[in-house]
């Protein structure tokens, strides 16, 4: 009978999943998946009036919950009964499909469940109902039996839940850009389904109910009962925010962090969900690719009409994007940006979750290993020993240690992609609040940064993005008058340069008005009107505390706080900010941060009796210049001609007050260093070689010293200073 096909598919799916279920190591997401399927099976059995099947499924659901919560001592016996129950459900299902009924005995099986769970109510349908009512009643009263008895399960759920919500947000933004993409809908549905299942057996009713409601909403989208609209995306985003807040509160409670009571009223959200489910009018239409390209200014209405004609007349018919590309009206990049598919990847990777402290301990121990290996290699006995086998073994040790440090260091590096995705969500929310039409383009999302920096740079980026949306991007009316596309654009870009990570935040808005900033700074007595300042110096005045050129205070910005916070946060990370702006074209803020990795490749140099380490990523060239390449130009100082370019000469011994071996550049070695946006020549006495060194903090007293970014223990046990090129450049300029 066809009405039982869905039922049988569900039972077979449960049976198939059980084959791969590891009963020794409880996997929370897998267990949640089982409970979800059993719940669905109970509902379908009830609809078909298959009471015996419903009772068996209910018993198995109760049994699995007890096993996971470790309320059954003999786990193996429990899983044995669970497996028998699956076989029994298959038997009942086959009988229902073939004969329309089942006359077999299930009472002995239900008794075996009752013995394990201690729930005698498993013996009859009426007692099950009565038991369920009692459970519901006890949950309302907050009975102790509802307390989660296994902290490790809750801890796993918190980690999984927060990851699921991040996944939901990313796919929601992708869905908004491509409303007809069913894969995006499924990618959002699955995390909600998993959260609901696990929250159910952990008795987290608020999370379970909300996840279930949002899951139902997405199911209607999958079944074409609802269309994807900005209104629907808003509701689901708000729902995921509520779930995140509840899970974060659980996390704080578990870790003993003091928090305010969580007061979340989900009634308004549920009314909005009911409203959209009932088909209440939604004035926002889902825009098509061609309309988006027109809005972005990539094509005109006439181009769009011509593209539609070409698409229809092609054999086989082309998609509008393909047609526009073939006609040369747009570039593949413009179409990709419009579809927001640039970063959409399906990744199937085995992941092991590791405690952060354990990871940091591992990095520290590998660092010590690198130091010890370096000491062994430079030991005088090893250097003077002619034993070939010993030399080979030491060389092999060095090779293994280097590979180990590279692998372990990479564990602490994470792509900036997730941070950029959070900024995309922020831009969406801010633009709606400000009544503007703003999009986001990201580049370099795979650029990796130290995990320890991720949270540190988050707040500065939030402030920068807020200002880009509120102050930078002009209103739609102003943009149209200025001949710009109606939709503004914020661009986030990340890349490595000169030993630094650079993050650029750009907008195509009004740009910074030099005269307005100067006037406001004079009014606030930050500078004198007679000060001779460069454009860069004037732009940097916006980072002064309390400085704001906003004509009015908004919920987003304009109170004079934010940019000074950005400056403090960037300086705390030993970073720099550069600003480039053109009136009516936009602004670019470049934030440069040093690579704060635990171990770096460094070039060891000697100046007098001291040794220093220069990050190899900052070195462009090593050379011994000819005497005629040296110049001392009035107003510019000492320079070296490097391949036709006059680069300033920095004498390291003068900066650190050391007696050098060589003062003449043509007798010494010149290291050409790259800073953030300039290059200079560093004078040293000798190059000692390249080595992987472990960065050690200089301590609080020397933390703010310019020109050095840390220290490292050398192979002979002495300490060498790691140089910061940009800091050296500033020191040399201040010394004249």
543: nearest Cα among 519, 562, 516, 518:
562
How many CA within 13 A on the CB side of residue 440?
A: 29
CA distance 607 to 669: 10
CA distance 547 to 564: 8
Secondary structure of 283-349 in the HEC alphabet? CCCCCCHHHHHHHCCCCCHHHHHHHHHHHHHCCCCCCHHHHHHHCCCCCHHHHHHHHCCCCCCCCCC
Length of the chain: 736
Residue with tokens 């509840």: 246
Catalytic entry in 33, 174, 181, 193:
193
Coil, helix or strand at residue 27? coil
471 catalytic per annotation? no
721 forms bridges with which residues in the sheet? 612, 711
Cβ atoms of 62 and 115 within 8 Å: the answer is no
Catalytic entry in 467, 471, 674, 691:
467
Beta-carbon contacts of 56 under 8 Å, excluding residues fewer than 6 positions away, are 85, 88, 89, 92, 106, 109, 110
∠ CA 3-8-13, nearest 5°, is 140
Instruction: Tell me 618's DSSP state.
Output: G
Pairing of strands 619-623, 669-674: antiparallel
467 catalytic per annotation? yes
662 catalytic per annotation? no
Residue with tokens 């380490």: 613
How many CB atoms lie under 10 A from the CB of residue 377? 16
619 forms bridges with which residues in the sheet? 673
Beta-carbon contacts of 454 under 8 Å, excluding residues fewer than 6 positions away, are 414, 416, 418, 419
Catalytic annotation, residues: 193, 215, 467
């Amino acid at each position: 009978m066809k009405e039982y096909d869905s039922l049988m598919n569900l039972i077979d799916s449960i049976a198939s999943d059980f084959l791969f279920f590891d009963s020794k190591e409880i996997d929370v997401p897998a267990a949640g998946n089982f409970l979800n399927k059993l719940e669905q099976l109970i509902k379908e059995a009830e609809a078909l009036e298959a009471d015996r099947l419903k009772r068996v499924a209910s018993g198995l659901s109760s049994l699995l919950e007890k096993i996971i919560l470790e309320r059954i001592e003999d786990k193996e016996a429990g899983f044995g009964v669970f497996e028998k129950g699956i076989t029994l459900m298959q038997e009942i299902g086959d009988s229902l499909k073939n004969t329309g009924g089942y006359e077999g005995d299930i009472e002995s099986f239900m008794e075996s469940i009752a013995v394990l769970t201690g729930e005698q109510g498993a013996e009859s349908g009426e007692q099950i109902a009565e038991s369920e009512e009692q459970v519901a009643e006890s949950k309302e009263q907050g009975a102790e039996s509802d307390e989660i008895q296994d902290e490790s399960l809750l801890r796993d759920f918190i980690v999984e839940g927060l990851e699921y919500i991040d996944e939901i947000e990313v796919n929601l933004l992708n869905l908004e850009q491509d409303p007809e993409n069913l894969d995006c809908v499924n990618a959002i549905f699955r995390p909600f389904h998993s959260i609901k299942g696990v929250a159910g057996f952990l008795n987290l009713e608020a999370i379970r109910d909300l996840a279930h409601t949002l899951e139902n909403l997405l199911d209607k989208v999958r079944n074409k009962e609802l269309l994807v609209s900005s209104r629907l995306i808003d509701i689901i985003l708000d729902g995921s925010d509520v779930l995140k807040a509840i899970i974060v509160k659980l996390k704080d409670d578990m870790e003993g962090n003091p928090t305010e009571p969580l007061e979340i009223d989900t009634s308004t959200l549920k009314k909005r969900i009911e409203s959209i489910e009932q088909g209440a009018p939604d004035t926002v239409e889902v825009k098509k690719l061609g309309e988006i390209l027109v809005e972005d200014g990539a094509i005109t209405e006439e181009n769009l009409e011509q593209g539609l004609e070409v698409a229809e007349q092609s054999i086989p018919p082309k998609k509008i994007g393909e047609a526009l590309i073939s006609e040369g009206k747009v570039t593949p990049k413009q179409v990709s940006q419009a579809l927001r598919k640039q970063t959409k990847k399906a990744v199937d990777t085995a992941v092991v979750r590791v405690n952060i402290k354990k990871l940091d301990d591992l990095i520290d121990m590998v660092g010590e290993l690198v130091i010890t290996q370096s000491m062994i290699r430079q030991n005088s006995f090893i250097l003077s020993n002619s034993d070939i086998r010993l030399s080979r073994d030491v060389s092999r040790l060095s090779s293994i240690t280097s590979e180990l440090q590279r692998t372990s260091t990479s564990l602490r590096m994470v792509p900036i992609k997730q941070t950029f995705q959070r900024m995309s969500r922020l831009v969406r929310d801010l633009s709606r609040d400000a009544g503007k039409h703003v999009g986001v383009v990201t580049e370099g999302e795979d650029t990796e940064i130290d995990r320890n920096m991720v949270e540190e740079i988050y707040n500065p980026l939030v402030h920068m993005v807020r200002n880009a949306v509120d102050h930078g991007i002009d209103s739609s009316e102003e943009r149209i008058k200025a001949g710009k596309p109606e939709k503004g654009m914020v661009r986030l870009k990340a890349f490595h340069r000169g030993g630094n990570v650079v993050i650029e935040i750009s907008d195509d808005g009004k740009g910074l008005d030099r005269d307005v900033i100067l006037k406001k700074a004079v009014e606030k007595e930050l500078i004198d009107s007679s000060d001779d300042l460069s454009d860069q110096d004037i732009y940097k005045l916006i980072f002064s505390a309390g400085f704001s050129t906003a004509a009015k205070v908004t919920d987003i910005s304009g109170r004079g706080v934010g940019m000074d916070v950005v400056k403090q946060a960037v300086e705390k990370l030993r970073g720099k900010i550069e600003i480039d702006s053109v009136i009516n074209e936009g602004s670019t803020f470049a934030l440069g941060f040093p690579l704060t990795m635990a171990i770096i490749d460094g070039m060891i140099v000697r100046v007098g009796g001291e040794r220093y380490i220069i990050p190899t990523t900052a070195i462009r060239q090593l050379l011994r210049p000819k005497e005629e390449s040296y110049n001392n130009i009035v107003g510019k100082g000492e320079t070296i001609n490097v391949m036709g370019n006059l680069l300033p000469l920095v004498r390291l011994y003068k900066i650190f007050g050391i007696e050098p071996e060589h003062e003449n550049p043509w007798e010494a070695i010149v290291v050409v260093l790259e800073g953030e946006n300039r290059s200079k020549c560093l004078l040293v006495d000798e190059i000692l070689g390249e080595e992987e060194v472990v960065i050690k903090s200089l301590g609080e007293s020397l933390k703010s010293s310019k020109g050095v970014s840390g220290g490292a223990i050398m192979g002979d046990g002495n300490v060498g200073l790691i140089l910061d090129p940009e800091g050296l450049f500033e020191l040399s300029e201040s010394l004249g």
